[in-house]
Amino acid sequence: MVDLRQLEREFDTVSAALKRRGVDEKLLEKLKVLFEEKKGVQKRLEAAQAEQNRKSRLFGQYKREGKDLSELQKEVSENKERIAALNEELQALEEKLFDLAATIPNIPDPDVPDGEDENDNVEIKRVLEPKTFDFEPKEHWELAEENGWIDFERGVKIAKSRFSALRYEGARLERALINYMLDFNRDRGFEEVYVPFMANADSLFGTGQLPKFADDLFKIEGEDLYMIPTAEVPVTNLFRDEILRREDLPQRLTAYTPCFRKEAGSAGRDTRGMIRQHQFDKVELVCIAAPDQSDEIFDEMVACASDLLASLGLPHRQMLLCAGDMGFSAAKTIDLEVWLPGQGKYREISSISNTRDFQARRAKIRYKEEKKNRLVHTLNGSSLAVGRTLIAIMENYQQADGSIIVPDVLRRYL
Known catalytic membership, residue 64: no
* Catalytic hit among 21, 362, 366, 388: 388
- Does 284 belong to an annotated binding site? yes
> Known catalytic residue: 388?
yes
How large is the greatest C-alpha to C-alpha distance in the chain, in angstroms? 109
Q: Is 261 flagged in the annotation as binding?
A: yes
CA distances from 20 to 15, 17, 124 (A): 9, 5, 21
Based on the residue annotation, tell me whether 348 is a catalytic residue of this protein.
yes
353 is in an annotated binding site: no
Out of 126, 172, 175, 276, which one is annotated catalytic? Answer: 276
242-245, strands of its sheet edge to edge: 242-245, 365-369, 372-375
Q: Report yes or no: 249 and 278 within 8 Å, Cβ to Cβ.
A: no
- How many residues are recorded in the chain? 414
Q: Which of 21, 162, 240, 261 is catalytic?
A: 261
Set 15, 351, 353, 383: catalytic member: 351
- Is 65 annotated among the ligand-binding residues? no
Task: Specify whether 362 is catalytic.
Answer: no
C-alpha–C-alpha distance, residues 321 and 147, integer Å: 36
- Please give the single-letter amino acid code of residue 118: E
Residues 400, 341 contacting (CB under 8 angstroms): no
Catalytic annotation present for 261: yes
> Which of 188, 204, 187, 410 is CA-nearest to residue 312?
410
In angstroms, rounded to a whole number, what is the distance separating the alpha carbons of residues 94 and 82?
Answer: 18
Q: Which amino acid is at 291?
A: P
**Among residues 183, 201, 200, which one has the least CA distance to residue 192?**
183
DSSP state of 398: B
> 365 a known binding residue?
no
- Residue 263 known to bind ligand: yes
Contact at 8 Å (CB) between 180 and 216?
no
Task: List the catalytic residue out of 75, 94, 169, 348.
Answer: 348
Q: What H or E segment, with its residue span, contains residue 338?
A: strand 332-340
Cβ neighbours for 2, distance < 8 A, ≥ 6 positions apart: 14, 18, 101, 104, 106, 107, 358
Indicate the helix (H) or strand (E) that contains 57: helix 25-65
For 57, what's the count of Cα atoms within 13 Å in the CB-facing half-sphere? 5
Task: Tell whether 232 is in a known binding site.
Answer: yes
Alpha-carbon gap, residue 272 to 164, rounded angstroms: 11
Please tell me whether 262 is known to bind a ligand: yes
3-state DSSP assignment of residue 284 = strand
Instruction: Extract the annotated binding site for L-serine.
Output: 230-232, 284, 382
Instruction: Extract the annotated binding site.
Output: 230-232, 261-263, 284, 348-351, 382
Catalytic residues: 261, 276, 348, 351, 388
Instruction: Extract the annotated binding site for ATP.
Output: 261-263, 348-351
